[in-house]
Amino acid sequence: MPVLVFLIVLSFSFYIIYKVQYVRSRRPMEKKWLSAKSSMALGLFVGCFGLNTLFIQQTTISYIVAAFFLLIGFASLWAGFKAYRHFLPYARKEAEELKN
């Protein structure tokens, strides 16, 4: 499925972008916020990879591996989203304090 391949490439690209921003950042809350965003991107990558595996191969082993990737990927996406929501106000406050 070309849509899943596009999402896989896009999410992996965002993962790389967020990790580069994480390394370049010097603010502690911003680092945690960027880490949460990269966790969401990596979770989406792994989840879409598992979903794509379901469509490409129809064997028992591929179903098990795809289920594992889907579970791990979307659990990482959910945990990253929760961390993103938690650290966002702190990162905003930190940015405003350094701005003034």
Q: How many CB atoms lie within 10 A of CB 75?
A: 13
Q: Which residues form the domain of 15?
A: 2-99
pLDDT of residue 55: 87
What's the number of domains the chain is made of? 1
53-40-95 Cα angle (round to 5) = 160
pLDDT of residue 74: 93
**What's the alpha-carbon Rg for the chain, to the nearest Å?**
16
Share of the chain above pLDDT 70, in %: 99
Mean pLDDT of 34-43: 96
- In angstroms, the first-to-last Cα distance of the chain is 49
